Amino acid sequence: MGYNNENNTEALVAMQNFQLPDTMSDVAFSNEDLAEDMDGLQMSFQRVKIPAGGALQFELPGEDPENPDYAKNLEGVILYNHASGAYWQEGSEYDENSTPLCSTVDGKVGIGEPGGSCAICPFNQFRSAVDGKGKACKNMRVLYLLCDGDYLPIQLTLPPTSIRPFNDFYNVAFATKRRATYGSVVQIGLKRMDNGNLYSVATFKKLYDFSGEKLAQVKACADSFREQIKMMLQQRAADTEVRCEDVFSADDGYVMQDDGNGFCITSGTIDGDREELPA
């Protein structure tokens, strides 16, 4: 992206004014420091979803659960992102309180039934969904976006239809420039799509890059949060494994269906999630 002098000045001012959580910038958290607070940290993230039905505003949790805030765009620093996935038994996919049969916090190893390697799992293959098109296991991408002045990042989960736009944006804005995602402020918006049903897809734009001392501060902040988030995911995986052992014990008589009639979906269904993305 080319900038004129005015744009360069605006970007420099914005970079300098971006407020980081100073208390996190120069603190090295040990495992002992964080162990007792992992559950609290996990619950404290504001969870934001891509809206259903082609809506063009994000719903943000506020102090009053009955009156959430709304925003056309989200702006901030992507401190960390990782693959995620889940598989629900057919009939439970629209129940927000339903526990998936199998889930993964890294897109590599599933915990539950069938569990194991995601790469070779039959439910993680295209045309395994009940409609014969997409995957029975819903592949997602989780972004942790730190907004200006906040102390904790927003947790934004991308459904399958928004993963390719993020991948394309990452390749152009970061990978080709050998730049980490935390090195820039990005804007995430929404675009309405129609494949017979209206649904929303995330859009991405890089606003400006950090440099110098500010970049060093952002890196320290990102490194700290990355370690916390990784520990949180490890604990979540361990907790999930324990629950699965209870649910799928040999004595409960549970038998996995082998007809392939299952697909996964999270709360806030996005129409078109189960369709294979165009090549």
Counting Cβ atoms within 10 Å, is residue 45 exposed (0-12), middle (13-18) or buried (19+)? middle
Q: What are the φ and ψ backbone dihedral angles of 247, each rounded to 5 degrees?
A: -75, -40
User: Which of the pair, 24 or 56, is modelled with greater confidence?
Assistant: 56
Answer whether residue 279 shows pLDDT above 50.
no
Mean pLDDT on 253-270? 35
pTM of the predicted structure, to 2 decimals: 0.74
- pLDDT for 34 equals 55
User: Which of the pair, 57 or 134, is modelled with greater confidence?
Assistant: 57
Least confident of 95-104, 121-130, 220-229, 236-245: 236-245
pLDDT in tens, 164-195: 999 999 999 999 999 999 999 999 999 999 98
CA dist., res. 127 & res. 237, Å (int): 27
User: Which of the pair, 269 or 242, is modelled with greater confidence?
Assistant: 242
Residue 98 · residue 88 · CB < 8 Å: yes
Question: pLDDT over 70 for what percent of the chain?
Answer: 71
Answer whether residue 13 shows pLDDT above 80.
no
20 DSSP assignment: P
Residue 254's Cα: distance from chain center in Å? 31
Residue 76 · residue 185 · CB < 8 Å: yes
Q: For residue 117, what are the contacts with CB-CB under 8 A and spacing of at least 6?
A: 108, 109, 110
Longest dimension (CA), the chain: 71
Answer whether residue 213 shows pLDDT above 50.
yes
Residue of 13, 10, 15, 154 lying closest to 73 (CA atoms): 154
